[in-house]
Amino acid sequence: MKNPFHVMIIPTLGCPSKCKYCWSSEEGSPIMSVETVHEIVVWLQDIPRDRVTFTFHGGEPLLAGADFYRQALPLLADGLAQMHPEFAMQTNLWRMTPEIADALAAYRVPIGSSIDGPEAITDSQRGDGYYQKTMKGYGIAKAHGLDVRFICTFTNKSVKNKEEIFQFFLDKGFTLKLHPALPSIRSENPKEWALEPSEYGELLVYLLDQALDHMGEIEVMNINDLCRCVFVRRGSVCTYVDCMGSTFAIGPDGSIYPCYRFVGMPEYVMGNVADRPSLETLMESPAGKLMLAFKDYVDTACAECKHIKYCRGGCPYNAMAPTPGRIEGVDPHCTAYTRIFDEIGDRLNREMFAAPPMEMGGFGMPSVQKPAKKEKPGVMTLMRRNAMR
């Protein structure tokens, strides 16, 4: 089965915010032209895929303005109708306007935004005033019918307040997606904010417990994804599949990269949309070869790991960040992945063996049972619930 084809469009690397752990703000960065969007369409018309998801990412994609989206969205949707395009956007929402919201609502673009918890915690990591500016944009997006979900970056500092942060998301009725602060290839002090892998693993277990305790009250997207990975034995988000060859990012000038995380670094340019490279040509570039080398490396380095099918060594960017661009290990979050995959697998096994025959799908005669005492829902209940939605 082919992995979903995902093209990230980075209209600019500029961003009005200065989050303390972010590596992608660039002052005065150029903005993608509509001609480049047209080149993206022409390039993809020859790519043999029948589905595509476009994510507008940054930098801050709203800096491109309403006119850009009024033109780009129909160009992509109509010009690539044979690929059934779907859209998404990752934005801090500061520059959301009614005009942009209208343009996005016409194509039902779901929004991923970022807040790190209550105002004081968010602003301590992302800068004074961040929270209020994002909430103002959130109000505009909601008023125009846009679906907004929040990504919460946990740093080695904010993880100490994980209970307060979880409660904030619960009280607000926000869906929670966790993002661990990463070491950056570009930073001089790459680990200043980074969440240690062992802390990340314990945080995931904490969120698993919370998601089960509060089932029906809050969605914790990572927990849904991780449980699904273990249950179907296949990754369902990019970190846990071989993203190389099925995910690309297009920078403001039409340069093609393996992922948004590499955009702006010339050594990771694989080609340019104006030249209409085939996917094979892209993967023959030095950056393409590096990504494929990571896949081969994982086949050996993780060969003995029972989670290899639905982890695939994690994210290649994470793996190469500590050793600027060299492959010397898998994703350093391996410790966290092992911790949470083991935990979910163990719980699933316990629940399967504890379940009565009918619940396991067996055909035994139902036995007379004592009234069940109310128990905390388990991973299987969560999976069933998600499958029914």
Q: How far apart are CA 227 and CA 216, in angstroms?
A: 16
Q: Quick check: 24 binds ligand SF4 (CB under 6 A)?
A: no
Pick 21 or 68: Cβ nearer ligand SF4 = 21
Pick 5 or 131: Cβ nearer ligand SF4 = 5
Helices and strands in the chain, H and E counts: 13, 9
Q: How far apart are CA 327 and CA 317, in angstroms?
A: 10
Among residues 69, 307, 332, 379, the one that binds ligand SF4 under rule CB under 6 A = 307
Q: Mention every residue, 6+ apart, whose C-beta is less than 8 A from residue 188.
A: none
* Closest among 316, 336, 19, 26 to 192, alpha carbons compared: 19
Among residues 31, 106, 170, 308, the one that binds ligand SF4 under rule CB under 6 A = 308
Instruction: Give the range of 87-95, 119-127, 150-158, 238-246 binding ligand SF4 by CB under 6 A.
Output: 238-246
Among residues 117, 201, 316, 332, the one that binds ligand SF4 under rule CB under 6 A = 316
Beta-strand runs (E) in the chain: 6-9, 53-56, 86-90, 111-114, 148-154, 176-180, 247-250, 255-257, 271-272
The single residue listed with the structure tokens 């083991």 is: 342
The length of the chain in residues reads: 389
Pick 35 or 267: Cβ nearer ligand SF4 = 267
Residues 324-383 that bind ligand SF4 (CB under 6 A): 330-331, 334, 337-338
Q: Quick check: 264 binds ligand SF4 (CB under 6 A)?
A: no
- Closest approach of ligand SF4 to the CB of residue 331, in Å: 5
Among residues 66, 305, 348, 355, the one that binds ligand SF4 under rule CB under 6 A = 305
Q: Quick check: 261 binds ligand SF4 (CB under 6 A)?
A: yes
- Closest approach of ligand SF4 to the CB of residue 245, in Å: 11
Q: How many residues belong to the site for ligand SF4 (CB under 6 A)?
A: 21
Instruction: Give the range of 89-97, 301-309, 354-362, 365-373 binding ligand SF4 by CB under 6 A.
Output: 301-309
- Closest approach of ligand SF4 to the CB of residue 266, in Å: 17
* Closest among 319, 375, 315, 351 to 230, alpha carbons compared: 351
Q: Quick check: 239 binds ligand SF4 (CB under 6 A)?
A: yes
- Closest approach of ligand SF4 to the CB of residue 171, in Å: 30
- Closest approach of ligand SF4 to the CB of residue 324, in Å: 15
DSSP letter for 358, please.
T
- Angle at which helices 334-354 and 379-387 pack, to 10 degrees? 90
Kindly give the pairing relationship between strand 255-257 and strand 271-272.
antiparallel
* Neighbour count for residue 248 (Cβ, 10 Å): 25
Neighbour order of strands in the sheet with 53-56: 176-180, 148-154, 111-114, 86-90, 53-56, 6-9, 247-250, 255-257, 271-272
Pick 182 or 218: Cβ nearer ligand SF4 = 182
Q: Quick check: 314 binds ligand SF4 (CB under 6 A)?
A: yes
Instruction: Concatenate the DSSP letters of all residues of 157-183 into one string.
Output: TGGGGHHHHHHHHHHHT--EEEEE---
Cα angle 76, 48, 61 (rounded to 5 degrees) comes to: 30
- Closest approach of ligand SF4 to the CB of residue 343, in Å: 12
Instruction: Give the range of 23-31, 148-156, 309-317, 355-363 binding ligand SF4 by CB under 6 A.
Output: 309-317
- Closest approach of ligand SF4 to the CB of residue 313, in Å: 5
The single residue listed with the structure tokens 């607000």 is: 172
Q: Is the dihedral of CA 118, 344, 182, 5 positive or negative?
A: negative
Instruction: Give the range of 103-111, 158-166, 308-316, 350-358 binding ligand SF4 by CB under 6 A.
Output: 308-316
Among residues 56, 317, 327, 344, the one that binds ligand SF4 under rule CB under 6 A = 317
- Closest approach of ligand SF4 to the CB of residue 194, in Å: 15
Instruction: Give the range of 29-37, 62-70, 148-156, 315-323 binding ligand SF4 by CB under 6 A.
Output: 315-323
Binding site for ligand SF4 (CB under 6 A): 238-239, 243, 247, 259, 261, 302, 305, 307-308, 311, 313-317, 330-331, 334, 337-338
